[in-house]
Structure 1
Amino acid sequence: MKNLYKTNILLPAIALSATLFSACNNANPPLGDKAAVVIQKDSLTEYVAQRLPIYERVKLTTNINQLSVNDRKVLPLLIQAAEIMDELYWKQAYPQRDSLLATIKDEKTRDFVNINYGPWDRLNNDKPFVAGVGVKPEGASFYPYGITKEEIEKSTLSDKFGAYSVIKKDSAGKLSTVPYHVLFAAELQKASSLLKQAALIAEDAGLKKYLNLRADALVSDNFTASDYAWLDMKTNGLDIIIGPIENYEDKLFNARTSYESYVLIKDAAWSKRLAKYVKMLPELQKNLPVAAKYKAETPGTDSELNAYDVVYYAGDCNAGSKTIAVNLPNDEKIQQEKGTRRSQLKNAMQAKFEKILMPISKELIDAEQQKYIKFDAFFANVMFHEVAHGLGIKKTITGKGFVRAALKEQYSWLEEGKADILGLYMVTGLLKKGELQGDIKEYYTTFMAGILRSVRFGASEAHGKANMQCFNYFKEKGAFERTSQGTYKVNFDKFASTMNDLSAFIITLQGNGDKIAVEKAQKEKANISSELQKDLDRLTRKNIPVDLVFEQGVDVLGVK
């Protein structure tokens, strides 16, 4: 991108400083003033030297020989479209990218800025590592900088909580909204054209239809038809998730979505193994350990549970911690009518298991229970986390509408917590029914190790908050103990009963749509104790990575 994004919804100006942390300049020059900028051998390089190693570099590859000749022609077009989503996410998360990077010559520091899509450390509670930028704005660039929640809530804007628009303020203080497809018209038209080109080449009828509809959706912000077409695809080998999808970046209202993309290649053998589980959702829903009024909904089952190798991440899903499973679409109406597709990103999941979860387990899981840490259990726990998004309750029982709308910025972390614990509930139930193989001790111990992996994402991130709630709840109930050796040992009996208690607690909070009660739960449970932090610091001292960063693209795959 040559031109820096210019609009009145920019993040706070970083013209105050280009020096870092403890640098001691009396006057801080504008970032754009390259001649005046002095990057000292200072806390920036020191901080980056400490933090960059938390990411393990992994090549995203797969066996492209499994693809048809035409699919191999489609693949580079999908990656090009994904790259545009990456540019758009930068504009949403940190529009001043070019000005910031122009001041930084150190390659490792540039890498760290790129990993975080800006000057805030996403896996360290969004700590600013460039002096002068201040705290990360809760509303990113979706809202005028400095605007209060109350000002937006009291406004007469019809699209004040829109998923596909930004709010702007003119010089007179008047608020207005601008749709994404207007704000980013040039980029979206280019991405749309690439998807249309891919559709012309694609052989699979379902993929062809989806690509055409998604191309139209990108330039109109009308995504419903393409979401249905995506769910209808059954025989495609290639897939692309693309567009403004998740609302994690909007911490002000949890309303506005960020651009992202995954380019995927289906693992047909694994997908076939997983196909039966979605059909079991209605029965599992009936048996949820919560009052009947909170489980009266019938989850949709007309969708698929598939395994993929992911060959390209872009935008929101590539920022900081990397997603290893996806449950979409997010539209509650579509979820109720048709269900969702749960996509397991098998190669990325395997990398996290080998590079991160196993080393964590050797350090923090009780020596006698380390034998229970298994990849199949990790895969199942992650998979059923995504399936479990379809369980529980979508609409409040208190007349407050859908849970997402009622809980606003408190929705995402609690929903992730629900999926974590109901995923474990599903594993437990399916093992008892003989529909899943293995020892329950493997699933519970691997789940415990998974909590210790995910809490390292920090308390500012939705999954981190969810795992901290689970950790603290389980600790209070005695579901595990911290031994005198500083390791964690699962109490398998109490683990099961606590799982049911936490399931009921979360579903009840969602069903009531009580935002104040959810805020209270977050303050009380979604925090890291000093004891746990010391244990997590041990992992850092052992150089155990927190997450992955990918080498990816057409060159890595060997396609043109």
Structure 2
Amino acid sequence: MRILLASIAIGLSSFPALAQTTTESPISVKDRVDQYVEVELTTDIDALTSKQRQMIGLLIDAAKIMDDCFWYEAYGDKSKLLAGISDPTDNRFTVINYGPWDRLAGNEPFIDGVGAKPLGANFYPVDMTKEEFEKADLSGKDGLYNFIRRDENGSLKSVPYRDQFKQEMTRASQLLIDAAGLADDAGLRHYLLLRADALLTDDYRPSDMAWLEMHDNTIDTVIGPIENYEDQLFGYKTAHEAYVLVKDKDWSERLAKYATFLPELQKTLPVADAYKQEKPGTDTELNAYDVIYYAGDCNSGSKTIAINLPNDETVQLEKGTRRLQLKNAMRAKFDKILLPIADVLIADDQRKHITFDAFFSNTMFHEVAHGLGIKNTINDRGPVRTALKEHAGAIEEGKADILGLHMINQLHQKGEIKEDLTDFYVTFMAGIFRSVRFGASSAHGKANMIRFNFFRDANAFERQDDGKYRVNVDKFRDATRDLSSLLLKLQGDGDYDAVVDLITTKGVIGEQLQSELDLLSQKGIPVDVVFRQGKDVLGISNSLK
């Protein structure tokens, strides 16, 4: 969902320092690997029952199948690619990126002889043009769960995921059925059985509904084709991924009350009534989890630390969403990345405002804010997702970030949030530096580029003579309101051309910001994390003990 920015709006000089490959001083693959810091994913296994531990093993096995499916979607033949890469460092970096393109450097190729990554990844024929696709009389061509291929005559055809991945989905489905047989929680058992069926039918709505209806389960999983980010040609096709999760019930209880404020907060949005006429679903939850396994799309390049699902607009309006905060992964990024960034780039006297609670809350309210605003355009242009095409992801992520701050402002005024607002603003500012380093191939990276430039132009922060940044609290609040209004209106209007203009003018990394990113790289501050994960790390198997 990043075609314009990746190919037109910014060149390689606009990506993080590590992406600035030149013929005089090429960036080594080892340096690229060093952008990532390794983190172990675990939880308190002893607190789980023997059945729950066995269930986790089965869910990890199912997740590994999603991993292989994503390899096909992102690149194609994984085995052939890796077999042809003899250098172990090159091989490792290829695995991190699910292909020979550096996701933190705008999908820049890092293997000799590899060309540019197709914007449509492996969802479409490489030789297919946008014009050919748009003219094709092909039912369901913009569907979420199908590949576009050529038939024997060279014409475009649709291949459903359930057919392309028949063997894989049959195995994964049986693993979910086996896991359901171990589930003591009726809601989890019902969801797993419906999800097992969905993998075979490509009908995910019933299982999405069931996922929203379960509340008391300790073990959880998100599995299947979920997000559209990998399709940068149109943003239509979903990619396979999986998370295996263990609920932190103490933290979850702390978060439970905030979801109830959604309808009230929708009314406070700084935009005309037409852009907030939809009513957010209220059957929704906020929970905290230890994530113990990532696979597929969510494990590629920059790693997710919170989830807001389902994406189905119909389900969202009818039932709402669930927001999952991945606390252990979030803590790792805070300790190993955000704090070191703050030490380098945040004014010394504001450094005390960088807190994990603020980082957690900013991330949490980002996910809650996905439920605010509007899902369908107000002028009959259809869902926002289709109206804004490949840019929908970046605008939605930007909206969620900025409306998260709006929600914090509103809840602070109500007395529901007691902490100093400056904590949230300064931590948010440091977070911009963290996320913009994800580069143009990430919707989150693109959203942060836009936000940095918008806030700079609004004098929401200033760069001091010592090179560190100071947040101007009042102007930061005003910029939050103004950017919220702009993004909500762009979505409601489905104004593709205006979005292109915003990305072209604001979605760039200027010389000064680039110098800050260079400095972070020079100081060896990692850009993101990679995981040491799996049954061996957890010390479990699929066998009852």
User: TM-score, normalised to structure 2's length?
Assistant: 0.94
Aligned to 1:507: 488
Q: Distance in 2 between matches of 1:452 and 1:182?
A: 42
Q: Distance in 2 between matches of 1:73 and 1:100?
A: 33
Q: Distance in 1 between matches of 2:129 and 2:114?
A: 19
**2:472 is aligned with 1:494:** no
**2:145 is aligned with 1:167:** no
Shift, 1:174, TM fit? 1.1
Q: Which amino acid aligns with 1:224?
A: R
Q: Distance in 1 between matches of 2:78 and 2:66?
A: 15
1:231-260 per-position Cα deviation (integer Å, ceiling 9, x unaligned): 001000000000000000001110000000
Stretch of structure 1 that moved more, 502-511 or 403-412: 403-412
Q: Which amino acid aligns with 1:115?
A: I
Structure 1 residue runs of 4 or more that deviate by more than 3 Å after TM superposition: 21-24
- Secondary structure of 2:216's counterpart equals coil
Q: Distance in 1 between matches of 2:454 and 2:65?
A: 41
Shift, 1:171, TM fit? 4.2
Say if 2:406 and 2:481, in contact at 8 Å, map to a contact too. Answer: yes
- Secondary structure of 1:411's counterpart equals helix
Aligned to 1:456: 437
1:419-442 per-position Cα deviation (integer Å, ceiling 9, x unaligned): 000001111111111111210000
Say if 1:199 and 1:207, in contact at 8 Å, map to a contact too. Answer: yes
Evaluate the alpha carbon distance shift between residue 23 and residue 392 of structure 1 in structure 2; reply closer, same or farther with a 3 A threshold: closer
Stretch of structure 1 that moved more, 514-523 or 96-105: 96-105
Pick the aligned partner of 2:345 from 337, 340, 364.
364
Say if 1:459 and 1:528, in contact at 8 Å, map to a contact too. Answer: no
Stretch of structure 1 that moved more, 91-100 or 274-283: 91-100
CA RMSD across the alignment: 1.5
Pick the aligned partner of 2:240 from 259, 263, 287.
259
Shift, 1:358, TM fit? 0.1
Gaps of 5+ in 2: 1-19
Q: Which amino acid aligns with 1:420?
A: D
**2:525 is aligned with 1:544:** yes
Say if 2:90 and 2:111, in contact at 8 Å, map to a contact too. Answer: no
Stretch of structure 1 that moved more, 91-100 or 372-381: 91-100
**2:31 is aligned with 1:63:** no
Aligned to 1:115: 96
1:27-62 per-position Cα deviation (integer Å, ceiling 9, x unaligned): xxxxxxxxxxxxxxx999x61121111100010011
**2:364 is aligned with 1:383:** yes
Stretch of structure 1 that moved more, 184-193 or 64-73: 64-73
Q: Distance in 1 between matches of 2:232 and 2:241?
A: 17
Shift, 1:452, TM fit? 0.5
**2:172 is aligned with 1:191:** yes
Shift, 1:22, TM fit? 10
Written as runs of structure 1 = structure 2, the 5 A alignment for 1:527-538 is 527-538=508-519
1:316-344 per-position Cα deviation (integer Å, ceiling 9, x unaligned): 00000000000000000100011000000
Shift, 1:103, TM fit? 2.5
- Secondary structure of 1:356's counterpart equals helix
Q: Distance in 2 between matches of 1:307 and 1:443?
A: 19
Aligned to 1:466: 447
**2:260 is aligned with 1:283:** no
Q: Distance in 1 between matches of 2:43 and 2:88?
A: 28
**2:137 is aligned with 1:146:** no
Q: Distance in 1 between matches of 2:68 and 2:78?
A: 10
Aligned to 1:305: 286
Written as runs of structure 1 = structure 2, the 5 A alignment for 1:218-297 is 218-297=199-278
- Secondary structure of 1:262's counterpart equals strand
**2:142 is aligned with 1:177:** no
Aligned to 2:464: 483
Aligned to 1:327: 308
Stretch of structure 1 that moved more, 87-96 or 97-106: 97-106
Stretch of structure 1 that moved more, 256-265 or 394-403: 394-403
- Secondary structure of 1:167's counterpart equals strand
Say if 2:355 and 2:423, in contact at 8 Å, map to a contact too. Answer: yes
Shift, 1:172, TM fit? 2.3
Shift, 1:23, TM fit? 13
Q: Distance in 1 between matches of 2:174 and 2:418?
A: 46
Say if 1:181 and 1:219, in contact at 8 Å, map to a contact too. Answer: yes
Q: Which amino acid aligns with 1:184?
A: F
**2:400 is aligned with 1:419:** yes
Aligned to 2:13: none
Say if 1:138 and 1:250, in contact at 8 Å, map to a contact too. Answer: yes
Q: Which amino acid aligns with 1:381?
A: N
Say if 2:220 and 2:247, in contact at 8 Å, map to a contact too. Answer: yes
Aligned to 1:130: 111
- Secondary structure of 2:111's counterpart equals coil
Q: Which amino acid aligns with 1:146?
A: D
Evaluate the alpha carbon distance shift between residue 23 and residue 283 of structure 1 in structure 2; reply closer, same or farther with a 3 A threshold: closer
Gaps of 5+ in 1: 1-20, 25-41
1:441-470 per-position Cα deviation (integer Å, ceiling 9, x unaligned): 000000000001000001221001101111
Percent of counterpart pairs with the same letter? 57
Shift, 1:518, TM fit? 0.7
Evaluate the alpha carbon distance shift between residue 479 and residue 23 of structure 1 in structure 2; reply closer, same or farther with a 3 A threshold: closer
Q: Distance in 2 between matches of 1:49 and 1:133?
A: 18
Q: Distance in 2 between matches of 1:257 and 1:453?
A: 26
Evaluate the alpha carbon distance shift between residue 43 and residue 527 of structure 1 in structure 2; reply closer, same or farther with a 3 A threshold: closer
Q: Distance in 1 between matches of 2:490 and 2:276?
A: 13
Say if 1:308 and 1:344, in contact at 8 Å, map to a contact too. Answer: yes
**2:72 is aligned with 1:72:** no
Pick the aligned partner of 1:554 from 504, 524, 535.
535
- Secondary structure of 2:181's counterpart equals helix
Say if 1:304 and 1:340, in contact at 8 Å, map to a contact too. Answer: yes
- Secondary structure of 2:462's counterpart equals strand
Q: Distance in 2 between matches of 1:103 and 1:78?
A: 31
Say if 1:305 and 1:343, in contact at 8 Å, map to a contact too. Answer: yes
Shift, 1:69, TM fit? 2.1
Shift, 1:173, TM fit? 1.9
Shift, 1:96, TM fit? 2.9
Shift, 1:133, TM fit? 2.0
Shift, 1:106, TM fit? 2.5
1:165-214 per-position Cα deviation (integer Å, ceiling 9, x unaligned): 00111342211101000011000100000000001111110000000000
Say if 1:309 and 1:346, in contact at 8 Å, map to a contact too. Answer: yes
